[in-house]
Structure 1
Amino acid sequence: MRNRNGIFWGLFLLLSAAILVVSQMHLITYTFGFWTIIVTIMLVAVLIKSLVYFAIPGTVFSLAFLAILYAKPLGITALVPWTILGAALLISIGLSMIFRPLIARHRPWMNKKYYRGYSWHHGRNFNGNGDPDVKTVNDSDVDVYVKMGSSIRYVKSENFKEANIDVSMGDAKVYFENVTVEGTAVINVNASLGGIELYIPKTWNVVKELDNNMGGVSEVGFSDVTVDSPVVTIRGLVSLSGLKISYI
């Protein structure tokens, strides 16, 4: 992860310098404003980070916003912003489905027992009444996969080890209140255009190793950690999504 961060910041600084030099030397006939350059640098930063971390939604949407920003010099003013963003959404879904095996190789937890007991739901994670898919899980390893739907999982385990939570264009709520951890455990998250809510005992010593790409990570409540508290690591990628950690 440190190596990837070094690649990101190195490329970001190089491209920022290039944008600054080109804008000041007037090598492009179109005149850019100060704030346009600032926003461009920010979007380029998101683009590079998305490429480094193989985040397809972040890559596509950063390019879409750049296209909206530079619609006039690109000659695409006939395309309204909503058309570009709508196309970006469809492209993100399509590319995510096509390149999922490649992405999984760079996120090992997506390969490990990941779809055991779950099927690929093309656009549905709901029951006939439109309610969220609700289940209670008693295993030490928990797998939650949501695509264009909603799921709620109540984890009840006396020896919790690992949870793999993958959400794409949907939302998942996972409750760990009836869980016992022997030493350490890991919660792997991969959120893309969706939301994940984790309800975690406040006695857990939570270590966050998250890559945030145009997403939001928030915490509700406070932890009450002691020397005997189990260490639970939350790691993964939050791309154009939200991750909420609630201490209960």
Structure 2
Amino acid sequence: MRNRNGIFWGLFMLLSAGILIVSQMHLISYTFGFWTVVLTIFLVAVLIKSLVYYAIPGTVFSLAFLAILYAKPLGITAIVPWTVLGAALLISIGLSFIFHPFIIKHRFRNMRYYDHVGHWHNARVHTRVGHHVDVETVDQPDVNVSVRMGSSVRYVTSDDFKEANIDVSMGNAKVYFENVTVQDTAVINVNVSLGGVDLYVPKNWNIVKEIDDNSMSGLIEEGNPEITEDSPTVTVHGYISLSGLKITYI
């Protein structure tokens, strides 16, 4: 995770420097305004981070907005903005369907946690295609939720919860942990593209957030946690792209 962040910020700084130099030296005939340069740097940052984390929607839409921003020098003013955005949406959906299994396998391969008896566990992801609200109660220590163009609701009732793997693409997932017991530590892995995930967790959980998100996504929290010395530590980590993650303390 740290290596990827280093790659992202290194490439971002290099390209930002290049954009600023080119804009000030007038090496191209088209003159760019200050805010155009600022927006370009912002979109390039989103593009690089999306590429580093294999986020198809973030990559496609950042390119689409760059095309809209530079429609005049590119000679595409006749097809922006709605045609470009519509095409970007269709391209994102198509590429997500094609590359989804490969991206998930790569992204979750290194998501591991160290349990209370000292063993490493690899994250597991099962793919399920759903077009309706899929409701299920799970009493296992490991919970797997996969949603593609649908909605899922999970009520977790495990008395020894260890791990949850939540993978959402163009859908929504709600996972309730109110009837869960964590012996020491646990982890919740999330991977969300063009969708949303709602986590309902006990207010006495010590939630550690390790989320990588691009600037077109959001993480919000509701409720007031009540952490004590006996509170279990639950780490929520993963990646969200053009999506939302909501953590509600209940």
TM over 0.5: yes
In 1, Cα distance between equivalents of 2:123 and 2:231: 27
Residue 143 of structure 2: SS of its match in structure 1?
strand
Task: Kindly state the Cα deviation for residue 5 of structure 1 after the two structures are TM-superposed.
Answer: 1.1
Q: Show the 5 A alignment for 1:52-91.
A: 52-91=52-91
Residue 27 of structure 1: SS of its match in structure 2?
coil
Unaligned runs of 5+ in 1: 127-131
Residue 208 of structure 1: SS of its match in structure 2?
strand
Task: Kindly state the Cα deviation for residue 170 of structure 1 after the two structures are TM-superposed.
Answer: 1.1
In 2, Cα distance between equivalents of 1:84 and 1:139: 45
Percentage of identical aligned residues:
71
CA RMSD between the two structures: 1.5
In 2, Cα distance between equivalents of 1:19 and 1:233: 38
In 2, Cα distance between equivalents of 1:119 and 1:149: 10
Q: Per-residue CA shift, 1:125-150, capped at 9, x if unaligned?
A: x1xxxxx2221111111111111111
Of 79-88 and 169-178, the range deviating more from structure 2: 79-88
What residue number does 2:125 align with? 114
Residue 20 of structure 1: SS of its match in structure 2?
helix
Q: Aligned AA for 1:231?
A: T
Task: Provide closer, same or farther for how the CA distance between residues 2 and 15 of structure 1 changes in structure 2, counting only shifts above 3 A.
Answer: same
In 1, Cα distance between equivalents of 2:168 and 2:72: 36
Q: Per-residue CA shift, 1:41-89, capped at 9, x if unaligned?
A: 0000111111111111111110010011111111111213121111111
Q: Aligned AA for 2:33?
A: G
Residue 153 of structure 2: SS of its match in structure 1?
strand
2:143 and 2:165 in contact (8 A); partners too: yes
2:169 and 2:192 in contact (8 A); partners too: yes
Query: 2:241 aligned with 1:230, yes or no?
Result: no
Q: Aligned AA for 1:114?
A: V
2:129 and 2:150 in contact (8 A); partners too: no
TM-score scaled by structure 2? 0.91
TM-score scaled by structure 1? 0.92
Q: Per-residue CA shift, 1:170-227, capped at 9, x if unaligned?
A: 1111100000011111100011111111000011111111101120000101111111
What residue number does 1:216 align with? 218
In 1, Cα distance between equivalents of 2:149 and 2:83: 21
In 2, Cα distance between equivalents of 1:66 and 1:138: 47
Q: Aligned AA for 1:159?
A: D
In 2, Cα distance between equivalents of 1:31 and 1:107: 44
Unaligned runs of 5+ in 2: 113-121
Aligned length: 238
Task: Kindly state the Cα deviation for residue 112 of structure 1 after the two structures are TM-superposed.
Answer: 4.1
Q: Show the 5 A alignment for 1:146-185.
A: 146-185=147-186
2:146 and 2:166 in contact (8 A); partners too: yes
Residue 19 of structure 1: SS of its match in structure 2?
helix
In 2, Cα distance between equivalents of 1:153 and 1:191: 16
In 2, Cα distance between equivalents of 1:113 and 1:220: 28
Task: Kindly state the Cα deviation for residue 246 of structure 1 after the two structures are TM-superposed.
Answer: 0.4
In 1, Cα distance between equivalents of 2:152 and 2:108: 22
Q: Show the 5 A alignment for 1:235-246.
A: 235-246=237-248
Query: 2:18 aligned with 1:7, yes or no?
Result: no
Residue 191 of structure 1: SS of its match in structure 2?
strand
Of 106-115 and 81-90, the range deviating more from structure 2: 106-115
